[in-house]
A and B are shown apart, each in its own frame.
Chain A
Amino acid sequence: MWDVVVVGGGNAALCSALMAREAGASVLILEASPKEWRGGNSQHTRNLRCMHDAPQDVLVDAYPEEEYWQDLLKVTGGITNEKLARMVIRESSTCRPWMEKHGVRFQPSLSGTLHVARTNAFFMGGGKALINAYYRSAENLGIDILYDSPVDDLEIKDGKFIAARVGDKRYEGHAVVLGSGGFESDRTWLREAWGQNERGEWPADNFLIRGTRYNMGVIIKVMMREGADTMGDPTQAHCVAIDARSPLYDGGICTRIDCVSLGIVVNREAKRFYDEGEDFWPKRYALWGRLVAMQPGQIAYSIIDAKSVGNFMPPVFPGVIAHTLPELAKKLELDVDTFMETVNSFNAACRVGTFDHTIQDDCHTEGITPEKTHWARPIDKGPFYGYAVKPGVTFTYFGLTTDEKASVFFDGKASPNMFAAGEINAGNVLGKGYTAGVGMSIGTAFGRIAGTQAALAAKKMKEGAPLHAIA
């Protein structure tokens, strides 16, 4: 019997475990994965979006609450909860000393990430280094950790947590924090959620999972069965256009294709379908997964010419290279005539001003649909490069409704001892869209709150127990 049982082993789970332990609770972490894969999607993260009113160690200038909120409002298109969002934002301005206390180290933004130098604090060594630090701290504080322990069921009575089950093993707790992630690793669920499109395709069959293979959404399903309140659209996710050759799971950051804004993107029919130069790539990359998911075959091709080489993060796999455009089309198995028509009309529409990939420059198109609003330069200097991209799901947004205490709800009534944090409740703040580093801000904020609340709830449960027994 533990005071607090934490289901999951990523950032939010560990934040809650550490906070609960610091509040004096005995804590058990049940991590589904073996030790070498611990940390869920957090092992692939790299930074935390932080509010700050003045320059702070690795963060330059200021990123005030209001600006952060406006950014979030914009990317989510209003599908957010202002109260919770502002709480997360404020929490992001104060959590870093605590993170450092537990061994996390920060560094200035990485090369090629200039646009987030002001807003995001980078973890030295990335998310896996953060996870390692938290696990070390958890071990030092005497938190019990069990790997290879995927919780497959929860015992809940009248909205109250009793125990977590892993096969025939049973772990009782006075309170629980559900930090077990989304359901992106369950490809069957993704298939059902996305359904069949008008072309008769099952789009999700062509999705890759950028993160962990262990987020099977089992806890979300258990909670749905138990009648917990859920929120969000199961088709909404952090979904990026990634290299089509990436591994099915855990491709992580390096599978990104960062040259989209420098060239054009065509679908399987060799036609453009969206403004590639709408905004800086980091502000748009989470949109493109979904855009590609809507295309036939859920595949698209990012095309650049020799002018762009060296102006974007080098891709992990080499592109398809050709010395002429028709040859490139052939190699990419695209219809050569349509492809040439697309490229030629794009080239003719380019109004090249002063090209500068570091600002929103004045190179744009005129008279074609879709237009390209920045960085539009004719694709005419060989060799030409093509990168096939597919939708890569990082994490899903559908999950449990929670309040500012991270409480789980049953029919609108808060559970006295059940809390949720991380991807499982991120959708409360992030209904759709994404902005770099906000996932970790949400996970850290709610994780810390859930841990404190769970320790408090456990204390109450224990104090209330004798009375209960008499009754």
Chain B
Amino acid sequence: MQSLDSLTREAQNLAGASEHSVTWHNKGITENEAEVARQMQICNACRYCEGFCAVFPAMTRRLSFDNKADLNYLANLCHNCGACLHACQYAPPHEFMVNVPQAMAKVRMETYMDFAWPSALGALYKRNGLTVAMATAFGLALFLVLALISQGTLWHEPLAGNFYAVFPHNTLVVVFGSVFGFAVLALLIGLVRFWREITPGHVSGVAVGEATHYALKLKYLDGGHGLGCNDEDDKFTLRRRMYHHFTFYGFMLCFAATSVATIYHYVFGWEAPYGYTSLPVILGTVGGIGLLIGPVGLFYLNKRRSPLHGDKAQQPMDRGFIALLFWTSLTGLALLVWRDTSAMALLLAIHLGVVMALFLTMPYGKFAHGFYRCAALLKNSIEKRMPNKVSAGSE
């Protein structure tokens, strides 16, 4: 083990001493990245896993793994499906100790932190756990409830779902708009930096189309054979992909509901509340249901995941995000159901507290994975259309 490790490092040194191309943060290759490099050297000499996902074909286009940006790219291309671990003849207890999903997960976390904006907040990724998420949500909800109590408006006569009677529309727009805007801005700045560093090459329409398609259908959670990915053991299932779809599309429908409502408000001057058969409510309800099923499923699978998969240290971050999505949806649906009752203000305060917590933790939590993953997928779609410099086809 020791000797293999030192041999690989030696190779990296010989191959031009960690020529890292990441100029943004100017950090050298980390221990976790060196571990990915060590494992990729072994994988590149084996290649049995080439059919599972995009990581291994991308690996075969390289002879050495001494480029930090390359390692970041490969790590974010990995979907942590687990297939290569269970199929690996070099996985622990083998002395080569190859566990690609785990090594990649650790580097992914570093990527999020390294590219975070503002940089100082990158460390938040490590602290973003289930407790923090729930405490933030609870704290904010409590704050809003207390504010209402102090105004004496917590318990009220039914207001026919008129939220703005409780919190003025403009206040909501300013507060939530700015927090959400900051979250998106922070993520986009990180993403743009990452994108520049991984030097993707020419972006073609075909590549964008393919990458979008693969992202939207979660191509790389299908195991390459369509049977799915691994959770607790070597068995393949489509559960994780399905629950992720529920979550993602649920979230997108909720987002669409909000967008449509915004258009209603500003373009047509139609103010909330909207009827149960209106477009924003239908989108929000369907999305909300998806956002209940998806996170519950993902949470259940996350609890059952083989301890060998991924980075255990990131589980709190995963679960915090999953929990916030779930509570956002649950409180939102509860608000919809009881919006005509005296409890509306209370329910609204709780819902807004949870949503605010979601927005606040968004740029420094699991939400980021989608952005970096999509960038890596797009680079892959571009890269595989370029001529391959390596022609190791001697067999």
Residues of A within 8 A of B (CB): 36-37, 43-44, 46, 105, 107, 110-116, 122-129, 132, 136, 245, 247, 250, 252-256, 258-259, 261-262, 280-282, 309-318, 321, 357-358
Q: Is the CB of B395 within 8 A of A116?
A: yes
Q: Collect the chain A residues with CB atoms within 8 Å of residue B234's CB.
A: 129, 132, 136
- With both beta carbons as reference points, the residue of chain B lying nearest to A313 in the complex is identified as B392
Interface residue B174 (Cβ < 8 Å from any Cβ of A): no
- With both beta carbons as reference points, the residue of chain B lying nearest to A46 in the complex is identified as B48
- With both beta carbons as reference points, the residue of chain A lying nearest to B43 in the complex is identified as A254
For B93, give its contact among A36, A252, A314 (CB under 8 Å).
A36
25 inter-chain pairs at a CB distance below 8 angstroms, sorted by A residue, are: A105-B224, A105-B227, A110-B50, A111-B393, A116-B395, A123-B48, A124-B225, A125-B51, A125-B87, A128-B86, A128-B89, A129-B83, A136-B234, A245-B7, A253-B45, A255-B45, A259-B394, A281-B394, A282-B395, A310-B63, A310-B391, A311-B391, A311-B394, A314-B45, A318-B15
Q: Is the CB of A254 within 8 A of B394?
A: no
If A36-B92, A105-B51, A316-B42 are given as contacts, then 20 extra A-B residue pairs at C-beta distance below 8 Å, sorted by A number, are: A44-B89, A105-B225, A110-B47, A111-B60, A112-B394, A124-B224, A125-B51, A125-B84, A128-B48, A250-B94, A252-B89, A253-B46, A280-B394, A280-B395, A312-B392, A314-B45, A316-B46, A317-B8, A317-B11, A358-B393
Known A43-B89, A126-B48, A132-B87; judge A314-B394 contact (CB<8 A).
no
Q: Is the CB of A111 within 8 A of B47?
A: yes
Q: Collect the chain B residues with CB atoms within 8 Å of residue A114's CB.
A: 393, 395
Report the bound CA distance from A192 to B234 in whole Å.
40
Which residues between 1 and 33 of chain B lie within 8 Å of chain A, taking CB atoms?
A: 3-4, 7-8, 10-11, 14-15
Q: Collect the chain B residues with CB atoms within 8 Å of residue A252's CB.
A: 46, 89-90
Residues of B within 8 A of A (CB): 3-4, 7-8, 10-11, 14-15, 41-42, 44-52, 57, 60, 63, 83-84, 86-90, 92-96, 224-225, 227, 234-235, 389-395
Known A126-B49, A136-B235, A310-B63; judge A112-B89 contact (CB<8 A).
no
Report the bound CA distance from A386 to B391 in whole Å.
20
Q: Collect the chain B residues with CB atoms within 8 Å of residue A311's CB.
A: 391-392, 394
Q: Collect the chain A residues with CB atoms within 8 Å of residue B390's CB.
A: 310
- With both beta carbons as reference points, the residue of chain A lying nearest to B48 in the complex is identified as A126
Q: Collect the chain B residues with CB atoms within 8 Å of residue A318's CB.
A: 7-8, 10-11, 14-15
Report the bound CA distance from A250 to B97 in whole Å.
12
Known A37-B93, A125-B83; judge A314-B63 contact (CB<8 A).
yes
Known A111-B47, A317-B4, A318-B8; judge A127-B394 contact (CB<8 A).
no
For B89, give its contact among A113, A116, A127, A317 (CB under 8 Å).
A127
10 smallest beta-carbon distances between A and B, as pairs: A126-B48, A125-B87, A318-B11, A107-B51, A254-B45, A129-B87, A316-B45, A132-B234, A105-B225, A254-B46
Q: Collect the chain A residues with CB atoms within 8 Å of residue B392's CB.
A: 111-112, 258, 310-314
Q: Collect the chain A residues with CB atoms within 8 Å of residue B89's CB.
A: 43-44, 126-128, 250, 252-253
For B224, give its contact among A107, A250, A357 (CB under 8 Å).
A107
Q: Is the CB of B87 within 8 A of A111?
A: no
Cβ distance B263 to chain A, nearest Cβ, rounded Å: 47
Q: Is the CB of B60 within 8 A of A112?
A: yes
- With both beta carbons as reference points, the residue of chain B lying nearest to A358 in the complex is identified as B393
Q: Collect the chain A residues with CB atoms within 8 Å of residue B395's CB.
A: 112-116, 258, 280-282, 313
Q: Collect the chain A residues with CB atoms within 8 Å of residue B394's CB.
A: 112, 258-259, 261-262, 280-281, 311-313, 357-358
